[in-house]
């Protein structure tokens, strides 16, 4: 039975996003007890403190979806050695107002994906920094920097090769353990 809900936040809005493809592959490869689902961020308007106490429905829906999950998985590209603004915006919306932090205490993990050689290292570390403030206990190891992503996909352009599939299966198994060790008691 699938009893652990995992919210995947994809940091790219691009239609043919490699990160979205990897998120889809992680859903295909998910362990029996995990139920991975992408929570969309594309309809979120820009965060402003002025409206955080009277938020638009898109924010409330997003916060509710995150809050309903048991764990959170960030799958993101790197933009200019940090994270895309859309992902940072989603982090702020999820975290506010102060007593309504939807991320609070949810075990998390991060995967960064890039056509470049260093696999989004800067974005990966930026998400790790933010996780401290968001109060997400983020899995330290294994780290997942999926660089040169085009070489990791088969000819169909969406299925990962065997080596990457094994890496993702092992990563998800480690994440399942991490969730079990860090899940909220409430």
Ligand X SMILES: Cc1cc2nc3c(=O)[nH]c(=O)nc-3n(C[C@H](O)[C@H](O)[C@H](O)COP(=O)(O)O)c2cc1C
Q: For residues 131 and 172, give the distance between their C-alpha atoms in angstroms, rounded to a whole number.
A: 19
Q: Closest distance between ligand X and the C-beta of residue 126, in Å?
A: 11
Q: Closest distance between ligand X and the C-beta of residue 10, in Å?
A: 7
Tokens in use for 73? Answer: 């998985």
The DSSP string of 1-37 is ---EEEEEEES---TT-HHHHHHHHHHHT--TTEEEE
Could you give the string, one character per residue 5-34, with x where binding to ligand X holds by CB under 6 A and - elsewhere? -------x-x--xxx---------------
Contact partners, residue 171, CB within 8 Å, separation at least 6: 109, 111, 142, 144
Could you give the string, one character per residue 156-185, with x where binding to ligand X holds by CB under 6 A and - elsewhere? ------------------------------
Contact partners, residue 140, CB within 8 Å, separation at least 6: none
Contact partners, residue 42, CB within 8 Å, separation at least 6: 13, 86
Q: Which of residues 77-136 bind ligand X (CB under 6 A)?
A: 77-81, 114-116, 120
Name the one range near ligand X by CB under 6 A: 76-84, 97-105, 165-173, 175-183.
76-84
Q: Closest distance between ligand X and the C-beta of residue 72, in Å?
A: 18
Residue from 102, 43, 37, 103 nearest 75 by CA: 37
Tell me, what DSSP letter sits at residue 142? S
Q: CB nearer to ligand X: give 118 or 173.
A: 118
The count of residues interacting with ligand X (CB under 6 A) is 14
Q: Closest distance between ligand X and the C-beta of residue 115, in Å?
A: 5
141 lies in the binding site for ligand X (CB under 6 A): no
Q: Which residues of the shown chain bind ligand X in the complex (CB under 6 A)?
A: 12, 14, 17-19, 77-81, 114-116, 120
């Amino acid at each position: 039975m699938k009893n652990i809900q995992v919210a995947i936040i994809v940091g790219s809005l691009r239609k043919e996003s490699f990160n979205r493809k990897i998120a889809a592959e992680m859903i295909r490869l998910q362990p029996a007890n995990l139920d991975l689902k992408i929570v969309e961020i594309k309809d979120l308007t820009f965060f402003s403190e002025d409206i955080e106490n009277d938020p638009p429905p898109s924010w409330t829906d997003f916060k509710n979806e995150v809050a309903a999950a048991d764990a959170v998985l960030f799958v993101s590209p790197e933009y200019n050695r940090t994270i895309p603004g859309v992902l940072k915006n989603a982090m702020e919306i999820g975290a506010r107002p102060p007593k309504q932090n939807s991320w609070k205490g949810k075990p998390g993990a991060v995967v960064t994906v890039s056509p470049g050689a260093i696999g989004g290292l800067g974005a990966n570390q930026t998400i790790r920094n933010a996780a401290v403030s968001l109060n997400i206990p983020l899995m330290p190891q294994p780290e997942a920097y999926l660089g040169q992503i085009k070489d990791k996909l088969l000819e169909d352009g969406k299925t990962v090769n065997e080596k990457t599939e094994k890496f993702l299966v092992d990563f998800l198994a480690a994440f399942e353990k991490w969730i079990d060790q860090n899940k909220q008691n409430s």
